[in-house]
């Protein structure tokens, strides 16, 4: 009898189908990246749908891998597991794959963290989550890069140690806004993640001195519809945080963190967090997808000490 496909294999199959549909429909727009070494990318993902979006609207497991596989600007390694998406409920598989240090056989360059929870199936779920967090920390020490995408930054029960590692957490009842969405304001002009290939049709006055953003006029674009997080707090801890993106919607506050970079002296690697990503048509096209690609290449280059002109 043939062996039934594993969950990662099913996610990869779904990713292949989604990628084919994108290619046929032109759903993943062309992006640009500078030349970079071949990358191996690991994704940990799960699904939450608080607004009752349709599958065509909601960013779901399998679709990040599909979008990355369909991006010609992203130089992926040639081996069969160079781009692998693993469900949160099988997080121990990600833990084992993060173990090889950067530059050794089988090592991954970047972890894309798209998990809003810890495992909720099987035994020892908290133990498995904590082992994963320990592995992510060691991965960063050894030069791996981490991109927390969308609900990866949201805190749920048992996820506190991961939020401490990321140095930020979103909490509260999220709002789905279809009229104004949210503005994405580039508060780090010149940074590779915020600048390379990103088109800003407008500019907005903004200031957040408490988070290191001086009063000024900053380039901006709008995501509509989009999911608004009422609170995304930077947490105390080691290392430094550089705010990359902010927004000005009036919900709980008029200052909102949408993205940042976190580094530590004990890490060769770095963390980049980017919150927008609920709405699939925006997540994998235009500016938002360019930012995700920029973040992946940026943390990979930083960890490998491969910075060139334009990588800051």
Give me the DSSP letters along 149-162: EGGGGB--TT-HHH
Phi, psi of 262 (to 5 degrees): -125, 130
Helix boundaries (H) for 142-195: 160-166, 192-195
Q: Contact, 254 vs 210, CB < 8 A?
A: no
* Stronger pLDDT, 307 or 293, i.e. the higher one: 293
Lowest mean pLDDT among 4-8, 22-26, 194-198: 22-26
Q: Could you state, in order of their start, the residue ranges of all structural domains in the chain? A: 7-303
For residue 187, what pLDDT is reported?
98
Q: Which CATH class is domain 7-303?
A: alpha beta
Q: Contact, 44 vs 111, CB < 8 A?
A: yes
pLDDT greater than 50 at residue 266: yes
Q: What is the mean pLDDT of the chain?
A: 90
For residue 157, what pLDDT is reported?
97
pLDDT greater than 80 at residue 3: no
For residue 178, what pLDDT is reported?
97
pLDDT greater than 60 at residue 21: no
Q: Tell me the C-alpha distance between 37 and 53, whole Å.
A: 37
Mean pLDDT over 76-101 rounds to 97
């Amino acid at each position: 009898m043939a062996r039934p496909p594993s969950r990662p294999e099913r996610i990869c199959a779904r990713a292949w189908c989604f990628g084919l549909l994108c290619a046929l429909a032109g759903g993943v727009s062309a992006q640009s990246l500078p030349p970079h070494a071949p990358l191996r990318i690991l994704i940990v993902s799960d699904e939450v749908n608080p607004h009752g979006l349709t599958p065509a609207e909601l960013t779901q497991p399998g679709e990040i891998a599909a979008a990355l596989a369909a991006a010609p600007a992203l130089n992926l390694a040639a081996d069969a597991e160079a781009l692998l998406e693993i469900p949160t409920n099988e997080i121990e598989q990600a833990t084992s794959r993060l173990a090889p240090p950067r530059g050794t056989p089988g090592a991954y360059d970047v972890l894309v963290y798209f998990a809003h929870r810890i495992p909720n199936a099987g035994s020892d779920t908290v133990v498995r989550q904590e082992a994963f967090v320990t592995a992510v920390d060691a991965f960063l020490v050894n030069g791996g890069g981490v991109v927390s995408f969308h609900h990866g930054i949201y805190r749920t029960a048992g996820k506190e140690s991961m939020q401490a590692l990321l140095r930020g957490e979103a909490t509260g009842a999220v709002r789905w806004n279809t009229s104004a969405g949210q503005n994405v304001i580039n508060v780090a002009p010149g940074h590779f993640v915020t600048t390379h290939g990103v088109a800003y049709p407008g500019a907005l006055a903004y200031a957040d001195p408490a988070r290191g953003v001086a009063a000024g006029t900053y380039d901006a674009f709008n995501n509509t519809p989009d999911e608004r997080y009422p609170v995304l707090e930077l947490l105390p801890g080691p290392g430094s945080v550089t705010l990359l993106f902010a927004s000005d919607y009036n919900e709980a506050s008029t200052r909102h963190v949408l993205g940042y970079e976190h580094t530590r002296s004990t890490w060769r690697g770095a963390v980049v967090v980017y919150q927008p990503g609920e709405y699939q048509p925006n997540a994998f096209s235009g500016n938002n997808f360019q930012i995700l690609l920029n973040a992946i290449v940026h943390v990979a280059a930083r960890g490998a000490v491969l910075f060139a002109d334009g990588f800051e």
